[in-house]
Homo-oligomer: A and B are copies of this chain.
Amino acid sequence: MDGYLKEFTKHYCQTAAGCNAQKELPTATLVRQIIETATEHANILGIGYNELIRENNAWVLSRLAIELNRMPRMHEDYSLTTWIDSFNRHFSRRNFVLESSSGEILGYISTVWVAINIKSRRPADLSSIADMEKMTFQRECRVTSKGRIKPDMRHDIAKSYLFATTDIDFNRHVTTARYVELIENQFDLDFYDRNEITHFEISFHHESVWGERVDIYTQMNEATGESYSMIHSEKNGAVCTSITTFRPRVKIA
């Protein structure tokens, strides 16, 4: 035993007020909770914000992939359990399982983080940050990630957005949750009444800032239910790229 808490669980309750129009956990809220759970676990392991900032380093989310059996529903208790799966000199893979309070597996999440020096914006050397070898843990995480998603200008839906005050986080960049919302907003409300997300993944290419104007491009493959999205900044090119897979909802009488 080396004393590290290798798995960390956080419990949530899906209140009515926190539900989306389909009476489920909103994707952007799940993403916020994934980041929150990761942040709290990193703090416990002694590799959190306070420790990293001493050397001007910080964790930046590079990729996120979610595989869903179903979303937590209104009034349902659920939990996120996270562990560090692996790491190399620059990247750390942190996995999650999303479970109902009765132990039903609702989904799996895989995230890739890079520690960067916030002054130089260059990757930090993880091996100098902590003995992460001793913090890793092996557990099943069934996510079929396509890896880094390439920028692609083809689209059949294009919208525009100007990043505002409440879109900005403590690093003074746009929050991950806001990117997820902009991608979700490419489709109308009734599309989500008819379809649910089974897979969502996003790769980050460039950090947007306050006042930056972006275009959101989406291309839907009706045959596969797979939708490709890119948030594109006129100034900086691809901000993030994303793939969402939908399946028709089963009608409940």
Contacts and interface: CB of A to CB of B under 8 A. Distances in A.
Contact of A16 (B49, B164, B192): B49
B184 A26 contact: no
Copies of this polypeptide in the complex? 2
28 contacts: A13-B40, A15-B39, A15-B40, A16-B48, A17-B35, A17-B36, A18-B32, A19-B169, A19-B170, A20-B168, A20-B169, A20-B170, A21-B168, A21-B172, A23-B170, A26-B166, A49-B75, A50-B75, A74-B170, A165-B184, A165-B191, A166-B181, A166-B184, A168-B189, A172-B189, A188-B210, A188-B211, A189-B211
Interface residues of A, number: 38
A30 interface: no
A168 to B, nearest CB: 4
Interface in A144-199: 164-166, 168-170, 172, 181, 184-185, 187-189, 191-192
A28 interface: yes
